[in-house]
Structure formats: C-alpha cells, structure tokens
Amino acid sequence: MVASRICDTAAASNPFRKLQMTFRLSLTFGLCAALLCSTALAQSDTLAKIKANGSISIGGRDSQIPFSYKPTGGGDPVGFTNDICLKIVDAVKAKLGMPQLDVRYTILTSTNRIPLLTNGTVDLDCATTTNTVQRQQQVAFAPSHFVTNITAAVKKNSGINSLAELNGKTVSTVSGSTGVQLLRAYRKTGIDVQELAAKDTADGFLLMSSDRTVAYILDDVQLAGLIATSPKPDEFKILTGESLRQEPYGIMYRKDDPQFKELVDKTVTDLMKSGAIEQIYAKWFTKPIPPTNANLNFPMTDAVKEIYKNPNNKGV
C-alpha cells in the first residue's frame, strides 16, 4: 500500500515518469494481446499460421518403419505416411502460392504428439497414430491411410503360438500407445500379463530381442518392419490369426479449422480415389526400403483395400 502511494505520488509530480508508466503498461498489454492472437491463430487457422511463418511443421518419428523413420546417417524422416504428408505439403504450397515453403520436422513420441499438435508446435502428425473416438475429442483425423492388427511378436524358439500363452509372462509395450490399453483390457479375460513400457517402437523391440521380455505387443505391420530390418529376422515371428483389435491409422491435425481440414481431407481422398496411393504403398511395403534394402512383403489387406475404396475417418 505504501509503495503504491509513493509510486502514485511520484507519477503525479513527474509528468515524464507518468508517461513512461503509461507506455510500459501499453507495451505489456500489446505483448499479451499479440501472444493471445498468436495462440489463437495456431489453434484456429493453420493456413494463416503457415503463411505467416513461411514454413509448415511435420511431426515425424525415429523408428516407425516403414511409416516414419530416420534413415541411417540421420536426416529428415522418410516413410509411407511421410510421403502422404508431403502430398499435403504440395497442396498447401499451391493453395498459398508459396512454392518455396519450408518444411520443418519435429520428432514426436506417443506421449507428446497430441500436446505438441494442439499447441501449434507441429501442423501435421505423420506417423502411425490410431484414430480413436477418444482422441477425436482433442484433434481431427484425415481419412485413414492404413488398417492394422494389434498383436505380438515373439522369438520362434519361445514356444509361444498364441496370445493366451503369454499368461504369467512379461511383455514389452510402447508408452502412450493403444496397445497398452488393449493389453490391460485383455487381462480381464483372465490372462495375467506383466508390462515393461518402452519409450519408442525400436526400444520395445530391443526389450524382446534381448530377452528382457518374451513378447512385444504392437501393430502387426510395425512388427513386420522391425523384424525385416533387424540383424537376424529369421529368429522372430508374428502371432497371426488373432489380434487385440483392428485399428485405423490417420494423419492428425488441429480441430475446428475448416479450411485446413478441407485441404487435407481432399488431398488424401484424391490419392485414394485416383489410385496414386497404391504406388506409394508398393514403394514401402512390397519393395526394398532403406536403410538395409529389406522387403517387408506386406501386400494390401482387404481392410486396407476397403478404406481406399471408401475413404473415411471413423475412429475406434
């Protein structure tokens, strides 16, 4: 109170000081308003944000073969989902008339991908995010570009041939993945499975391959990629014929942004309807891919063919 009165008295007796205080208050309010506007822009108008920054930000991954992963020697992520996102980038360039638009990458994880998308750090999540009804409350999804089965990979000499045979054993999962939730629900069937959470997909595979766990719970196609590019792929197998759930992958972007939604959804849908996505699919799933020139030999399933025939963004 005393300090406040002294300041008031000083301001009243010194017009220049009063002017300084007024300027500082105006500057503070101006900065706050600019910050609020910037945050609102990141949340509601992605195209305007991209145009103002001169760049688009893509969220990629380190090791989600063949969807989004860093090749040996570093560099930006490559992969199936990344190629689809680069088609979206081309559409953004055309829409904004910015052929030299800068593409910037941020490596995300299963736990930080949604926060970094919603706060404006990245504009597109281009990896293997499952489209769920729960996630749709926070973000939007493009039409699904892949459908997978959540199952397990084990060593061939483990003697395990079904999910039920994991009872009483330790398995690896990826922190923040839907596989964690599905495994916990699976326990309700009477299967007692212990979890060892990994920070990413590569780490989860390492836990299993180094015998710290007997199985690795993950999407079948990602398991196929990790096995195909491992030093000894013949040592492992995927438990086929059963799964914890079938899941659609979708490219994430911010909600409540109708202009960006229209551009993203149209680009992905056009790739499917034109058949162009089949060429991108073949490039990553039925041909040799970097870094080891391994071939996943993973032809389109009926579920994948169906979403390309009838594009949709339904969540599970």
Task: Assess whether the region 44-145+250-309 and the region 149-246 belong to the same CATH fold.
Answer: yes
The string of pLDDT tens digits covering residues 283-306 is 999 999 998 899 999 999 999 999
What percent of the chain has pLDDT above 70? 86
The string of pLDDT tens digits covering residues 234-282 is 999 999 888 899 999 999 999 999 999 999 999 999 999 999 999 999 9
More confident residue, 55 or 17: 55
- Judge contact between 183 and 244, C-beta under 8 A: yes
Q: At what angle do helices 258-274 and 276-285 cross, to 10 degrees?
A: 80
Confidence of residue 81 (pLDDT cuts 50, 70, 90): very high
Tell the residue number behind the tokens 């609102």, with chain if given: 40
Least confident span in 39-48, 69-78, 131-140, 201-210:
39-48
Q: Please give the Cα distance from 193 to 103 (Å, whole number).
A: 43
Q: What CATH superfamily classification does 149-246 receive?
A: Periplasmic binding protein-like II (3.40.190.10)
Confidence of residue 176 (pLDDT cuts 50, 70, 90): confident
Sign of CA pseudo-dihedral 98, 85, 286, 270: negative
Select the CATH number that applies to the domain covering 44-145+250-309 from these four: 3.40.50.300, 3.40.190.10, 1.10.3210.10, 3.30.1490.20: 3.40.190.10
Sorted by where each begins, the domain ranges of the chain are 44-145+250-309, 149-246
Nearest CA to 215 out of 227, 232, 231 is that of 227
- Judge contact between 183 and 164, C-beta under 8 A: no
* DSSP letter for each residue of 105-116: EEE--TTTHHHH
- Judge contact between 103 and 55, C-beta under 8 A: yes
Sign of CA pseudo-dihedral 39, 40, 44, 45: negative
pTM to 2 decimal places: 0.78
- Span 98-102, mean pLDDT? 97
Coil, strand or helix at 271: helix
